[in-house]
Amino acid sequence: MAKRPFSDDGSCRGIIAVRRLSSRTAWPAALIILTATATAAPLAAADGLERVVFTADSRERREVEGRVLVKAADGGLLLEDRSGELYTIVPERLQAREPVGRDFEPLSNEELGRRLLDEFGAGFEIVTTRHYVICTSAGRTYAEWCGALFERLMRAFYTHWRSRPLELHEPSRPLVAIVFADADDFAEYATRDAGAATAMSGGYYSIRTNRMVLFDLTASAGQPPARPAAEITAKVAASPFNVATVVHEATHQIAFNSGMHTRYADNPLWLTEGMAMYFETPDLSNQSGWRTVGRVNPRRMAGFRDYIARRRQPEALAALVRDSGRFTNRETAADAYAEAWALTWFLIKTRRREYVEYLHRISQKPRLVWDEPEERLQEFIAAFGDLESLDRAFLSYLARR
């Protein structure tokens, strides 16, 4: 069966943005043209560093050092720079390519920190942890609290899947989090970076830039931010939806940097969103571990039960698996997210081996190739069996919880 060009959401938020209820915008023309013109040929990750000169969408001349991940037959490129940002370059905008003469290496913590300070300017500082570089205007104490939360989540993520088992690797580069001082600063940046709908969210992860963008959850108009760490924890815990958003986006970032998902590949939205929601049950009381991974997500369960009682159609499961239309329709998005969580939870609890095999198969998908909806459905059926039988078992299992 013929493959379609990858033509999903192309804003800086990529596919992933929490509470994405508006219709999707189009991928940048560069990405659509690149994938439509020729078969994409993935290149080895050990390719040398290149200096690529091209014209950006704004017609600005750009010069980027990075490695080519995909080269189309007509010369179009998917380029990854040393910070992890992805660039799609169509042939007519490519001006020059030349080898730099050394291997590709991601930026170090120090190099990445300097680049971020150059980008964000006065009022920001850098806080680093083992795996994260946090650029923040929210103050060091809050950034350190976030860093500790991210590291605990990462340990829990790997521990959980190591016991399943699922072969993952640690991130090959520092993971970037941008943490703004308040929701207003976040919204101003998010509007430019990812669109007005994302600006109304509690945070997002960008597939294109590989960054997580958040704000101080303890900040409120006329009130000083919460300090110290214990006070931050108490104030954040009082807003479970907001902290779940942070965990959701941090899980996306980990999943896309551990080998579980591949950026700019055909990752079904029910799978990526279901995974993030599976971890949306933070354990803020335990400073050394994370005991709540995989517990029932009360908010998602309530939404799913309401959906079953009032709106669910017989073909709902097939529609969820085939394409992402339900996630991007304002009227159906909340139900799609609830069902994606429920399906993920059910499969992990009752079809763990099949689910892990399916995850691995999806992780091997090539970049910039989009499966036909029917092909995606048949791949799901091959992994989990007859759809009608699975749906009956799914609804029965959730009804007993």
Work out the percent of the chain whose per-residue pLDDT is above 70.
87
Q: What pLDDT, on the 0 to 100 scale, is given for residue 27?
A: 40
Cα dihedral value 226, 231, 234, 240, nearest 10: 30
Residue 17 has pLDDT above 60, yes or no: no
Q: Give the mean model confidence (pLDDT) for residues 78-87.
A: 97
Q: What pLDDT, on the 0 to 100 scale, is given for residue 68?
A: 96
Q: What sign does the dihedral 109-115-120-123 (CA atoms) show? A: positive
In the DSSP assignment, the letter for residue 172 is S
Residue type, 368: L
Q: How confident is the model at residue 292 (pLDDT cuts 50, 70, 90)?
A: confident
CA max distance for the chain: 62
Determine the Cα angle at 75 with ends 70 and 79, to 5°.
35
Q: Beta partners for 330?
A: none
CA dist 110 → 120, 131, 178 (Å): 15, 12, 16
Q: How confident is the model at residue 221 (pLDDT cuts 50, 70, 90)?
A: low
Strands 175-180 and 211-215: parallel
Q: How confident is the model at residue 372 (pLDDT cuts 50, 70, 90)?
A: very high
pTM, 2 dp = 0.89
Q: How confident is the model at residue 304 (pLDDT cuts 50, 70, 90)?
A: very high
Of 348 and 45, more confident = 348
Which tokens go with 277? 């929601």
Q: Give the mean model confidence (pLDDT) for residues 313-326.
A: 95
Check if the beta carbon of residue 72 is closer than 8 Å to that of residue 90: no
Q: Does the domain spanning 109-239 belong to CATH 1.10.20?
A: no
Q: What pLDDT, on the 0 to 100 scale, is given for residue 260?
A: 97
Compute how many other C-beta atoms are within 10 angstroms of the C-beta atom of residue 372.
Answer: 14
Q: Give the mean model confidence (pLDDT) for residues 52-63.
A: 90
Per-residue pLDDT tens over the stretch 198-208: 998 889 999 99
In the DSSP assignment, the letter for residue 160 is H
Chain centroid to Cα 132, Å, comes to 16
Strands 94-103 and 125-128: unpaired
Q: Give the mean model confidence (pLDDT) for residues 223-242.
A: 79
Q: How confident is the model at residue 73 (pLDDT cuts 50, 70, 90)?
A: confident
Q: What pLDDT, on the 0 to 100 scale, is given for residue 222?
A: 66
Q: How confident is the model at residue 288 (pLDDT cuts 50, 70, 90)?
A: low
Which tokens go with 332? 């159906």
In the DSSP assignment, the letter for residue 93 is G
Listed by start position, the domains of the chain span 4-103, 109-239
Q: Give the mean model confidence (pLDDT) for residues 85-113.
A: 95
Residue 19 has pLDDT above 60, yes or no: no
Strands 369-370 and 132-136: unpaired
Distance CA 246, CA 217 (A): 9
Q: How confident is the model at residue 338 (pLDDT cuts 50, 70, 90)?
A: very high
Poorest-confidence range of 69-83, 156-170, 327-341?
Answer: 156-170
Of 115 and 226, more confident = 115
Among 283, 119, 318, CA closest to 213: 119
Q: What pLDDT, on the 0 to 100 scale, is given for residue 12?
A: 27
Q: Beta partners for 223?
A: 220
